[in-house]
Amino acid sequence: MSSPTPQGVIHDLGYRPFTGRRQSTAAVAASLYVTSLRHAFGIGRSAKSKVVPFLIAGLMLIPALVLAGLLVQLNKMSLSDQGDLIAPLANYFGYPYWTQLLITIFTAAQAPVLFARDLRYRTIVLYFARPLSRTTYVLVRLAALSTAIFAIVAVPLTIWYAAALTTHVSKSEHTGHYFAALAGVLVLALVLASFSGLVAALTTRAGLAVAAIIVGLLLTSGIVTSLLGLACTNHQSTLGYLAAMFTPFTVVAELISGLFHQPTPTSSLQHPSAGWTIGFVVAALVWVCACATALLLRIRKAASL
């Protein structure tokens, strides 16, 4: 005589089901975006998590305040018309190029916060009311990191621009340079966020990700700077243009210089022709699309394990 087959039993533990209103997918994505942006600046995390982002944000303000102070002093000395003779006082897009070390450290420190921890611990701090696709998750995380990078550069630029408007410099010229610089900073933020997010997702360990991003950006920047100097010395413009495509800061600098007829941040970068400007547009798209696609594939593979 066979024994009865055991059957499962459902115990009522008294948990209450969710009876509130379920928000839309857009609301879920918006909540993830806000939380990610807050975490990029250490808000909602431990006190030590706020040190690096706010320290970098504070250091980024110093050059802008100095440049703004110079403009104001020249105005008091009735020398505002001489301000354009000093290149940094009107070259707004030179600002992210000159402060690329600080931007690199900020990006390297915050990208693992948004991408490495989730993959390593396979959990996030939010409880979603409905499923969120992996593509939306990656795009929202990238948008939050891009916004954080954009903010730490755009705020000093805006202070510098506001100080310039109080002087007797050419308002139209500075306005053109300012908005061209903002466009460049936006593209630069997208490139840096895509690249650093990919590296952080590949490593999944915060310390290793920080080192890999810094080494990757600074090493390529050093090699490209050497090649640019060699190209400038030997008058090999083609070599200089090709070399500039291999690091985010130079490819975006050449792109903005060509699109908006802006001065380049350094004399080793030459103003590109229309043909080379199209090439830099393609190079910037490759940086963003290739890194974002590889990041999405990495997230899908990690989630399927």
Is the pTM higher than 0.85? The answer reads: yes
Per the CB < 8 A criterion, the answer to whether 255 and 287 are in contact is no
Cα 150 to Cα 130, 136, 163: the distances in Å are: 30, 21, 20
* Neighbour tally for 224: CB within 10 Å: 21
- DSSP character at residue 265: S
Task: Tell me what pLDDT residue 78 has.
Answer: 65
Write the DSSP assignment of 69-118 as a string of letters: HHHHHHHHTT-GGGGGGSGGGT-TTHHHHHTHHHHHHHHHHHHHHHHHHH
Joined tokens for residue 7:
């059957």
Non-local (6+) Cβ contacts of 169 within 8 A are: 71, 75, 80, 81, 83, 84, 89, 90
Per-residue pLDDT tens listing for the chain (305 residues)? 455 555 666 666 677 776 777 778 888 889 999 999 999 999 988 888 899 999 999 999 999 898 888 888 777 776 655 555 555 667 888 888 889 999 999 999 999 999 888 887 777 777 777 778 889 999 999 999 999 999 999 999 999 899 888 887 788 888 988 999 999 999 999 999 999 999 999 987 888 889 999 999 999 888 998 898 888 888 888 888 999 999 999 999 999 999 998 888 888 888 899 999 999 999 999 999 999 999 999 888 876 65
The C-alpha atoms of residue 184 and residue 80 are separated, in whole angstroms, by 26
The residue type at 88: P
The residue written with tokens 């969710």 in the block is: 18
CA-CA-CA-CA torsion sign (80, 63, 36, 295):
positive
pLDDT at res. 4: 58
